Amino acid sequence: MNSLLLADGRRLAYRDAGEGLVLVLLHGWAMSSVVFGELSAELSRDFRVLSPDLRGHGGSDPGPGYGCSGFAADLSEWFSVLDLQDAVLLGWSLGGEVALTLAADAQIRSRLRALVLVATTPRFTAGADWAAGLPATQLRALARDLRRSYLKTMGDFFALQFVGETLPKGRHQEILRFAVRAGRLPEPEIALAGLETLGGEDLRGLLPQLQLPTLVVHGELDRIVPPEAGRFLAATLPNARLELWPNTGHAPFLSDPLRFCSLLRNFLS
């Protein structure tokens, strides 16, 4: 595990494997870079794979706020110090929202070759002009459950990512071992602050300016980010294509990692 001391004295932890074209992987809500352990091992055969822990997650120190702009500010400094150029930025779920926020910064955008958005939405909660989200009442219920029984609620949320899928025998336990138990959960207050971010961000206004080649990957069975959100991203981003996977939930790269790696290699070739 590597770490960078940010200008304000906080530590940003990140994993670095392989050589070649830079591929940056941003994890989702209440997770850490360990979720990409399997993906990184495969992709680092062809790419330099960098997977940072967002502030307050994994090995990274807590920060003064947990909105997308705060996460992006840390990563912008990290990009600059490591002098990352011609990079591919991949974000999963909340990490996809952070990726969109980063790419909207012209200085960071000049360092990017492409975007990959996995199970990503520009707006997590439904509203009068946005049906492709979850009801705000569902997020409030999740926050209530987190306060009452943190570990159980986190376990239930992780299981929700695979509802309806037919995984090979033992695969769910295997994923739990390397993607969850190999790391550590954020403190409850940080998870709740991140959930508040999911409930409040609306990034739709950023999309028209993002001209980067973009691959949008979404599962048709996703119970956390409705597939309609992926369709909206692909239709609104100027240079995007959609890969909608049947029989797949919220984490396509965990459900079928070899297919995901093949798709990514083809997109970047």
| pLDDT by residue, tens only, the chain of 269 residues | 999 999 999 999 999 999 999 999 999 999 999 999 999 999 999 999 999 999 999 999 999 999 999 999 999 999 999 999 999 999 999 999 999 999 999 999 999 999 999 999 999 999 999 999 999 999 999 999 999 999 999 999 999 999 999 988 899 999 999 998 888 899 999 999 999 999 999 999 999 999 999 999 999 999 999 999 999 999 999 999 999 999 999 999 999 999 999 999 999 98
Catalytic one of 93, 218, 255, 256? 93
Catalytic one of 32, 44, 250, 256? 250
Q: For residue 174, what is the enclosing H or E element?
A: helix 171-176
Nearest to 138 by CA among 56, 220, 69, 226: 226
Nearest to 254 by CA among 46, 29, 6, 34: 34
Between helices 150-160 and 136-148, what is the axis angle to 10°? 140
**Residue spans per domain, the chain:** 2-268
The CATH number of domain 2-268, selected from 3.40.47.10, 3.60.21.10, 3.40.50.1820, 3.40.228.10: 3.40.50.1820
Q: Which residues have CB under 8 Å from 258's CB, separation 6+?
A: 42
CB contact at 8 A, 14 and 50: yes
Predicted confidence at residue 174, as pLDDT, reads 93
Q: Using CA atoms, how far apart are residues 77 and 166, in angstroms rounded to an integer?
A: 41
Q: Using CA atoms, how far apart are residues 117 and 78, in angstroms rounded to an integer?
A: 20
172 is catalytic: no
**b/e burial code for range 198-221 (CB count within 10 A of at least 16 → b):** bbebebbebbeebebbbbbbbbeb
Predicted confidence at residue 123, as pLDDT, reads 97
51 is catalytic: no
Give me 217's structure tokens.
Answer: 């990957």
- Whole-prediction pTM: 0.96
Helices (H) and strands (E) in the chain, counts: 11, 8
